[in-house]
Structure 1
């Protein structure tokens, strides 16, 4: 029997008064034995993910002159990451994280080097796509792997611990999106766009290899049982729904990145593109910190709907901002809905799959964000070329709006099949803990 952790029951809007929800602080979480040994290298290894797309856009825009081409090359890399990433997650579940990470980061460095050489040599556009695809496909899936380590570490703890862990991970993701674009933009301005990509590849190799070396904290391998067919995490309808709505989140990232870059360059302040995008990510980071400190009474399904609706509202104002200052403020407000949406989505997907498919499930969500980013930048680039930077901001609104429609329509798919509810007493107080058991 495999015990499946179920965060919330959609039939229960709030816990009984006698069963107040548990609140777990970040200090308690970070005192988990062995946590820092994988968190530090993981930060270095995931920082390049926030640099890659913007650095590609800046390099191709400089060497080719077209936002459309720049956005498309970045999109090719993101699509490759979205399609190949879940497969590497599945391999990591089966063979271990180090076995996947080591070759991936080395191929990534070679591919990025080829892309830089081709761009600077003004090679045909199709060759840029050919180099961008493996560069994206080999982006290490550090975020999914860290979340899988937390699941293994906190398996015996109440669900509130995992909620805080996922909040911490989303805050870390957003912090990298504060630092990453600023670092890429600053290096591109002060040195060259090629230097930004070189830094990205270097951090990927160093951080990825250091993370892979932390084998003691890695989750156990899940080899298939004889005669039992291994099922993909994507077989779960709830996982497919979450992947679909995370496409909308990705379109916000993709549309924002290229539109903010175009707005800053049109204003003659291209160096501020990373700063404005970093403020957007900073809003998400702030919201994620606060979200992880709250002992929620509402179900995760209800919180997901509310957070996603706020995201759509935030995206609705971006296109109308007249300058970089107001755009930064609007981006900050929009970003406040990002981290809570991601935290809740990762909490939900963890309840929908068995232990041997969790890294893959997390990677499908990460890949969906990357695919949405690709679609967002691909659509926004030509819109900007034809109509100006303001038109690119319609992409985040459209993508998040479609995601909300899907979420509202199919929200019942987010319930883990066969979930059962029971109350568990911990530390002298009644704590609501929902546990679903199902056979593997």
Structure 2
């Protein structure tokens, strides 16, 4: 395990200072490659299965099985990593994911029946490496007690957004310009290379048996029985919010692919999704640099309202420029909701359950995405062109209603608000 790193300068924490943390790049670079499955997998399955079956409904269903499987197994993967170590979970998980992903590719190319695709999709989704939560846990080891912890939280959210810029663009370009199976094959290769290199970085991983990432006021205390993350009401509310965010990702992926095909320009799919994801990423960078004076709960409610409003206009956009503009606005609204949701975990959940809480939220995005690609695919097949855009609207509006009704559960734990050793979540986060 790497020694605790405490920056010598007590200046405002920024991204540049964070990235100079000793040992950070040893897990950041392979971790970035290993994160691509989450961003590439759904769109790669949709494009491959739609090509072999001619049906967006079948493609969405296959992708949905993968997403549901990932959502169900992700929290258990995080719990096992806390108990037995990241390496012990990652190595067999990576190998299982590569083999099952290649099996799914082969079955699709062989025109196998849909039930066979489902059978391969289950282990493919269940074995997706949970790199994001693991990287957050490693930051906790490297920055224990440092003011840079809040900066690391913002940086990780920005990295997630960047993944959603690169992953779908890369997958779409490979599937449309090289071969329909190239997206899944590349996804498997990145998983194998990045996952094994990440697992090899033993010095930066949390110690086996450690309770959570070791951040906050709970860090360094005697061992206590961890509280399951799902027993925290605020986590359940955040899961609903992240399900709505997943519906945006899934609905946009299917609906943009269907729209560009309907106008005879399938190559524009990657461009339009890239505009959406770029707005997401840039908004995340800005959110991480702002010294917020507004409480996280209020930021989440305001940001989510904006997200529901912008997604409500997607179904009415019938031109490429208008759809690109609306997609950009939707992307801009997603990042604040994601970042604020992850920030709230620090104040809602005890240290021993935070890694599990992060994986529940990641799984919720995957589950929402899975449901969205299924419903959007059926809507595009059975209704009118563009009907799939109703899915992001429905998902975010329903989630917003839940957030407003249960917003009281998003307050910090009574008498024990978690603060990173004097660093409140409202502290400034500056960009060097």
TM-score (norm 1): 0.88
* Structure 1 counterpart of 2:215: none
Contact 1:23–1:294, Cα closer than 8 Å, also in 2: no
Shift of 1:392: 0.5
* Structure 2 counterpart of 1:193: 180
Structure 1 residue runs of 5 or longer lacking an equivalent are 1-21, 436-440
Matched pairs, number: 408
Q: Is the alpha carbon distance of 1:434 and 1:27 closer, same or farther for their aligned partners in structure 2, counting shifts above 3 Å?
A: closer
Shift of 1:180: 1.0
Please state which structure has a larger fraction of its residues in strand: 1
* Structure 2 counterpart of 1:237: 233
Distance 1:365 1:190 in 2: 34
Question: Aligned pair 1:24/2:13, yes or no?
Answer: yes
* Structure 1 counterpart of 2:283: 287
Alignment of 1:339-354 (within 5 A): 339-354=335-350
Deviates more, 1:26-35 or 1:73-82: 26-35
Aligned-partner SS, 1:393: helix
* Structure 2 counterpart of 1:217: 204
* Structure 2 counterpart of 1:377: 373
Alignment of 1:81-92 (within 5 A): 81-92=70-81
Distance 1:75 1:326 in 2: 28
* Structure 1 counterpart of 2:218: none
Q: Is the alpha carbon distance of 1:424 and 1:334 closer, same or farther for their aligned partners in structure 2, counting shifts above 3 Å?
A: closer
Distance 1:114 1:66 in 2: 20
* Structure 2 counterpart of 1:410: 406
* Structure 1 counterpart of 2:60: 71
Structure 2 residue runs of 5 or longer lacking an equivalent are 1-10, 212-222, 428-432
Aligned-partner SS, 1:280: helix
Shift of 1:231: 3.6
Question: Aligned pair 1:315/2:315, yes or no?
Answer: no
Cα distance per residue 1:309-352 (max 9 Å; x no partner): 11111111111111222211110011001111111101111222
Q: Is the alpha carbon distance of 1:52 and 1:433 closer, same or farther for their aligned partners in structure 2, counting shifts above 3 Å?
A: closer
Distance 1:433 1:280 in 2: 28
* Structure 2 counterpart of 1:145: 134
Deviates more, 1:166-175 or 1:203-212: 166-175
* Structure 2 counterpart of 1:333: 329
Deviates more, 1:74-83 or 1:44-53: 44-53
Q: Is the alpha carbon distance of 1:137 and 1:319 closer, same or farther for their aligned partners in structure 2, counting shifts above 3 Å?
A: same
Alignment of 1:126-275 (within 5 A): 126-158=115-147, 161-222=148-209, 230-275=226-271
Shift of 1:434: 8.8
Q: Is the alpha carbon distance of 1:400 and 1:425 closer, same or farther for their aligned partners in structure 2, counting shifts above 3 Å?
A: closer
Aligned with residue 354 of structure 2, among 332, 353, 358: 358
Distance 1:422 1:148 in 2: 16
Q: Is the alpha carbon distance of 1:423 and 1:83 closer, same or farther for their aligned partners in structure 2, counting shifts above 3 Å?
A: closer
Question: Aligned pair 1:45/2:34, yes or no?
Answer: yes
Contact 1:423–1:434, Cα closer than 8 Å, also in 2: no
Contact 2:36–2:167, Cα closer than 8 Å, also in 1: yes
Distance 2:421 2:352 in 1: 28
Q: Is the alpha carbon distance of 1:106 and 1:322 closer, same or farther for their aligned partners in structure 2, counting shifts above 3 Å?
A: same
Contact 2:101–2:188, Cα closer than 8 Å, also in 1: yes
Contact 1:75–1:374, Cα closer than 8 Å, also in 2: yes
Contact 1:181–1:274, Cα closer than 8 Å, also in 2: yes
Shift of 1:273: 0.9
Distance 1:81 1:156 in 2: 32
Distance 1:258 1:48 in 2: 17
Cα distance per residue 1:141-172 (max 9 Å; x no partner): 111111122233333123xx333212211211
Distance 2:420 2:125 in 1: 44
Shift of 1:245: 1.1
Q: Is the alpha carbon distance of 1:269 and 1:155 closer, same or farther for their aligned partners in structure 2, counting shifts above 3 Å?
A: same
Cα distance per residue 1:377-417 (max 9 Å; x no partner): 11111111122331111110110011111111111212232
Aligned-partner SS, 1:336: helix
Contact 2:347–2:413, Cα closer than 8 Å, also in 1: no
Distance 2:418 2:165 in 1: 41
Aligned-partner SS, 1:140: coil
Distance 1:67 1:190 in 2: 19
Distance 1:36 1:353 in 2: 28
Cα distance per residue 1:154-199 (max 9 Å; x no partner): 33123xx333212211211111111111111111112211111100
Shift of 1:58: 0.6
RMSD: 2.4
